[in-house]
Each structure stands twice: as structure tokens, then as C-alpha cells.
Structure 1
Amino acid sequence: MNPPEPPLSFKLHPVWNGDPVSFGEDITYECESDFIDGVLDDQGDPLFSKLFFENERSQNVINVTCLEGGLFDIPNIWPKCVKTIYCGAPPAKRPEMRLHWLGDGSYQSKIVFDCGLFSDFITDVEPRSTYSEQSMTCAWDSSWSPRHLDPCQPHSCPIVPVPPKASRLKYAPNHKDGSQVAQIMDSEFMAYEPNPKVVPVPNEFCQHESQIFLLIGTIPWYNSSLDEVPRLEFETVNNGLSLVIEFMIHKNYLFRWAT
């Protein structure tokens, strides 16, 4: 008998020399290869990559037996071959955690978590220890692993006390090295800080598409009647202002322009 043919979309093919299959013999099926999107070799021909069984990446083949009576022991559901799998959205994090992720949910992609500027992760088993980051990796079963994140433990005071605005007091950090770069604060004091915070960026930043500037925070207080709106400015050393982003909170959109 000739071996059965799985659905074409499942990308399976039999390893078969064309001879009739005797009763009790197995026909082996393996995943096909598929071209890599947008990748060509030196001759301009598409490059191909191996596909994998969707239900088990380490599985190489599936066997189908020819039964007495002239029928094959066809699986109820044929396994499907795919290039990769996707884990989807990351699991919910605790409010005190920050998430660093470029949005790629494919196999072996990673999500990195930290506890912000003022806390570290702490292990929940003895002997307990602290560390700054932990990651989750997309596993072949379409789940993020590990599923459990250790809790955060503060190591310093996170909030700068906020005096009444009428006091006219201004936060003035004492930089022992004489630098003028303001400290990055996770604080409600930013609600009326008259001097914007400055974060130095390396000169080579934005020379590669894979680099991003990630800003995480909250705007705890905003009065739409004020003329000024929260804004983020990018400046270069030689050319000055290059990109401005304004947060039009009361209108629910961002306004940006470049010079």
C-alpha cells in the first residue's frame, strides 16, 4: 500500500522509496524545510530552515504502521510542523516591578523584569539572597518560563518627601562629584519640579535599530488648565534640540516633532 498523505498545510512528508508497504511495517514522516522570509543566498535563491513538530520540538519523526487488513494506523490528529511558536502577552507582573520587552513572543525570546531603582528581587528559599534582574523565556509549549517571579524587597527609601507647594521648597541633591546631572526620581515631587531632570545618553545611541529608549513612570498630578504640559526632549551635544514629545493628557494623545 502507498502511505497516507497528511494535510499539505501540516508540512509533513514520508521517508519512502516508492515500494509497497507490507503489513506490520512503519512509514516514517518528518518535517519539511521551509524558506526563511526575506533571506536569500549569494545566488539570490531563498534559504531554507528546518521545521519542528509543534507539539514537541525535540521529536524528529512520527511513525505510521501498516495494519493487517490493508489500512494504516493513521493518527486521529496529524502533528503539525512549524518554524516557531508564540507565547503571546507576558504574564501579569506585580505593581512594583518593571518589565523590559520588545514585544517578540516567539520561541526563546526573553522578558526581563526588575524591581525599579529602590528594590531588588529576593529568593523565597533558604539561604535567601537578593539580585537585580530575573527573566522569563518563551518555551516550546507556548508558555513563559519560569512561571513564578520572586518578590521585590526594598533596599533604600523610594519616595522623596513632598512639602506643600506653597512652601517654595525645592529638592536640591548634593552631587559630591560636582556634576549637574539631576538624580532620577520615582517621586511625586516631580509634579511641580521647576527644573527638568536630565539623563545623559551614550553618543552611539540610536545608531542601531535594535536600540530603544525606555521611559517608565507615572504622572501623579496634572492640571489641564495650565499652559505647560509634560514633555520629553532629546538634545544632541552639537546640534541642540532634535526631538520633542509632549504628553497631551487631557486630550489622550502624544504630540511630537523633530528638528
Structure 2
Amino acid sequence: MTYEDMRTALFLEFQRDNDEDLTDLDLIRLFHQFSCSYLPPSSDTEITTEAPPPPSSIRKRDVTAVLSINQEERVKRSVQETEAELALRSYGARLTYECGKGREFLIPGTKNTYKSRFIQCNWNGTWTKYTSLDECVWIECLYPKQPPVGTNLVSNWRGETTQFGQTTNYSCSSEEFFFEHDRELEYFELECLEDGSFQEPDKWPRCVASVDCGEPPERPGAGTWEWSGNYSYGTQIQYTCGPYGKFCDADGNCRDEIIVECGWNKSWIPSELPSCASKACQDIPFPPKKIGLEYSPDERNNMTLISDYTRYNPSIPMKLPFPGPSQCVKGRKLMLVGKISHGQIVNLVFHGSSPGEEAFHVSVDLNTESFKRWHQLEPDTPEGIEEFFGTTVDFDEPVIIKIYCDEDGFSVKLNNDPPYPHYLHVVPLENITTFLVSGSLTLSFAGFAEESLQPAPPLGFNLTFRCPEGMVFDHDWLAVPFVMMTCQDTGVFDQPDWNDYQCVNPTTTECFDCTSKY
């Protein structure tokens, strides 16, 4: 084949007209660009290239040749391939293979790895010095799992690789959230394993704004608590044993109150209260009137249930005569001992001698924790209304209301709350006739008395209630029809279930010792 025949054959292979301006060197370079085989990368490797720039004398139209012998494939590739793609498999092109981030090639038969491998296109149309790639293995971890929806967690991973044995971490999505299992924990961590994956937690933690402690320790029977009704973290409850008791431990250390707080472990701290050691029983549990039992005092446990100015277990509404101006001196008080229940607002009224006249009117509404007071000189025309908010008194817990008066006015004190300011007299003391209590209030004692009066029965005091003469218990006619309760050292009486008792007249005859044989 002559020189001219060789050039013509090459141009025919390229499907081009003979271009006499193209030098032999440029023609040979162009031929090798399309004749060197191209080794495709594997799916888990990355390629970098070092390809020589095309000769400056080669025009862009000179790089439209094809590689395949098949004519149709030649036309297709001439359309699809770019100049840069053709340069990748041209003579002198150098391809560098890497496994990608976090992985390297494994040297067969060893545990050693290497980062990259390169091959180069030779003049004879082959690649050297390798014709295959080794296996890619993980040497670090990538792509930690995203936390499940609802956990309020966020991943702190920012695309970096993590070495085997090291950790990636997660934090709560907001400063308002904390790890539910440990409020002081800053991060939750997962370890990078040797297979390139991250540890899978048995259970993903959650971040929450607060926790619920459930029901708190019960309020002592004769005691009080100051509680918002919340169960969330940090909620505090102040407990007392009432005015006649204290909390005492096994060593005899006593204190007036205990603060219980909801902890992050979803429990109240402390979870149990010490026992109450009391010197008297504030709440006197009288039986319901419908069962017929009557108070029966004895010489050693005598308690006057009624006098001119005092009442034990009175029915509500209750009215007492006012003792007169002699009540409004130092050392005297009006005391009410009982419990306020849900329902009507409690009203305490000192009535004057004129119709509709009220020397002093107090209303207590525990629903709104309000204390309101006023006076009125004409019916339904309250004057001097003053209202206060906030009290430690709660529904259905013992309450002691003390009302004092002097020559200037009235003052009121609820339990251990600070006394309310004086309310100055408008109606002369001589005109006050009666005191009336109404509303949802159950009283065990009400009365005008000396300041030193303690109406609560002392420890060991026995209260005895009997059926009226001639009546028996409906469930046991032969039993002596009485019930006795004793004031316990916890400050409460050992009250029975009154539903088990009913006084009845023995109106039928029963045979308890029948000897007849019919």
C-alpha cells in the first residue's frame, strides 16, 4: 500500500473527504484517539483523568470520527460523544480510579487497602498497567440513619466520614426539648461499625418539653396541700399535717411542711410522705343524720355539742347570735372549722338590726380563688366592695376560718394565709344581731370563743354515737347499737363506713333459739 493509499484508507475509515491540509502527524494522532479501547469504570469507583490536549492544528470538525466497524454505530457515536469524552480514551490519557468517600481498594489476600489505581492509554491501543480493579471496602462510615418522625431529634452529621469505633451524634431539635430518658444529656451517639454502617439503636430516644409524673402522694387526712393541679416536670406541692400536726421521721425529727417536686424521672420526689404526728383531730366525723345515730358523751370524753354561741357539726345554713360589743375585744374570735366543697360560694354575714342591713359580708369562691367583702345599709345594695385573689385553701381539705373584730373593724384569716387587711366598721357594733353561714361548707365546729379555744379533740379522745332508746341496728338486732371512734396520732378519727349502719325499730319477731320440731 502506497503512502497515498494509506491516507485515503484512513479518511475512508473516518468517513471524510481527503483533507490535504491535515499533516501526517495530526492524522495519526486523530486515528489513535478513536482506536484506543476505553475501559469503563465499575459502579462503585470514581474516575479522574489526565488527558493530553488535542493538537492545536486539529479543527473541531476533525473529531467526529467513530470507533465501531458497524456503520450505524459509527454514525450514532459521532453524534453523542463530545470532544472531552473522546479525549478520555486517546493516546496518553491517564485514568485514575478511586472507590469514593469512605472506601478504598482492598489488596487481595491481605487486610491492607490503597486509595487509587491508574491506567494509561498506550500507542498500541492498549491500557497499562492494569486491566481490572480490586474490590472496594469500607474504611470509614457515611450516611447515618435519620431519626424517626416524632422523636424531635436532628442529626448533627454534616457529610464528614466517621472512623470505625468513633460516633456520630443527634441532639434535640429545639432548646425547648430535652432527652426524655436523661434531661442533662446533650447528645445521643451511634457508633461507626466495621462494615461501614452505623449502629442501629434498639429504641430511638425521644426529646420532650416536659414529663408527666402522674398522681402525687396523697394529702394527709387531717392535712393540706398547696398544688396547682399540674403533673409536669418541676411542679411543686406543699404538704402540711394541718394546724395540729407535723411530719415526723423515725428519728423523731419533725417539721411543719414538706415540698414534693415532679422529677424528670416521671416520679414525685419524695414519693412518700413521713407520717403525721398530731396532738388533736381537727375534723370531727359525725354520722349522717339519716342513719339515726346520736352523740353520747361520757365523763372522760365529754364535748358540749351546742351552747348559745357554739355549735359542733351544725347544719348549713347555720345562724348564731352575735355576743355583742364584748366580742370585739382582744382575746376573742369567731372560729369556723370544716371543709369547703364544690358547689355554692361560701358566704359569711354579720346581720344588722335593720332589714337588709349587713355590717360585714364575706364571700369565698375557691373556683376563682377570690375573697370578696363588703357591707350594705339597704337591701341588695352592697357598698365598699373589695376583692382579693389567691389562697392556699383547696376544695375538700381542712380549713380554719378565724374572724376577729375590734373597735376599728373586722379582719379575717384563712388557715395559715396572711390575714386580710382591716375592714372598718360602718354599722355600729350594737346593731349587729346574728351571724349566718351559707354555701357549700361542712362544719365540724362554729362558735364565738376565747382566742385560746382549741375545738379539736385531743389524741385518744373517744366519740361515741348510739341509736335512740329502743332502736337497734338493722343488720344485727342483738348487738349493742353504738359506734365509738378514737382520735388517732395521725390527726384523724378511725371513722367507719356509715353505710353499714342504720338504726331501726324492731317491728318484726324472729326466732333465734327455736326448739320446736315443726
Q: TM-score range by the shorter chain?
A: 0.5 to 0.7
Q: Structure 2, unaligned stretches of length 5 or more?
A: 1-141, 285-301, 312-322, 340-347, 351-361, 365-370, 373-385, 399-421, 427-436, 443-518
2: CA distance between counterparts of 1:135 and 1:105? Answer: 14
Normalized per residue, which structure has more helix? 2
Task: Say which of 310, 322, 334 aligns to 1:182.
Answer: 334
Q: What's the offset of the Cα at 1:79?
A: 0.7
Conserved 8 A contact 2:226-2:392: no
Question: How many Å separate the matches in 1 of 2:201 and 2:308?
Answer: 75
Indicate conservation of the 8 Å contact 2:217/2:272, yes or no.
no
C-alpha distance 142-245 of structure 1, shift in aligned 2 (>3 A): farther
2:155 alignment counterpart: 14
State yes or no: 1:4 paired with 2:197: no
**Structure 1 91/19 Cα, relative in aligned 2: closer, same or farther at 3 Å?**
same
Per-residue deviation, 1:149: 0.9
Q: Which amino acid aligns with 2:230?
A: D
Residues 1:116 and 1:218: Cα distance change in structure 2 (over 3 Å): closer
Using the TM superposition, give the Cα deviation of residue 56 of structure 1 relative to its aligned residue in structure 2, in angstroms: 0.8
Q: Which residue number in structure 1 is paired with residue 263 of structure 2?
A: 139
CA distance in 2, matches of 1:27, 1:135: 41
Largest Rg, 1 or 2: 2
Residue matched to 1:29: 170
Alignment match of 2:197 (pick from 71, 75, 89): 71
Amino acid in structure 2 at the alignment position of 1:214: V
Cα gap change, 1:152/1:196 in structure 2, threshold over 3 Å: closer, same or farther? farther
Greater RCO (Cα-Cα under 8 Å, separation 6 or more): 2
Q: 1:163 to 1:18 in 2, by over 3 A?
A: same
CA 1:111/1:59 → structure 2, altered by over 3 Å: closer, same or farther? same
Q: CA deviation at 1:141?
A: 0.7
Task: Give the aligned residue type for 2:263.
Answer: A
Give me the whole-angstrom Cα distance separating, in 2, the residues matched to 1:212 and 1:138.
22
Aligned to 1:205: 388
- Structure 2 CA distance for aligned equivalents of residues 245 and 74 of structure 1: 67
Deviations 1:84-143 (A, max 9, x none): 111122123442332221111111111111111221222222xx2322111210011100
The Cα RMSD (Å) is: 4.0
Q: Aligned-pair distance for 1:177? A: 4.7
Equivalent-residue separation in structure 1 for 2:189 and 2:208 (angstroms)? 18
Show the 5 A alignment for 1:103-118: 103-118=229-244
Per-residue CA deviations over 1:32-55 (Å, capped at 9, x if unaligned) read: 10xxxxxxxxxxxxxxx3311100
CA distance in 2, matches of 1:248, 1:205: 20
| Number of corresponding residues | 199
Q: Distance in 1 between matches of 2:332 and 2:363?
A: 10
For the residue of structure 1 that corresponds to 2:334, the secondary structure is: coil
| 1:13 to 1:106, Cα distance in 2 relative to 1, 3 A | same
TM-score with structure 1 setting the length = 0.62
Match of 2:393 among 197, 209, 214: 214
Shift of 1:154: 1.8
Structure 2 counterpart of 1:153: 277
Assess, with a 3 A threshold, how the Cα gap between structure 1 residues 52 and 2 changes in structure 2: closer, same or farther.
Answer: same
Amino acid at match of 1:24: G
Check conservation: 1:120, 1:155, Cα contact below 8 A.
no
CA distance in 2, matches of 1:79, 1:15: 15
Q: Sort the Cα spacing of 1:117 and 1:102 in 2 relative to 1 into closer, same or farther, 3 A.
A: same
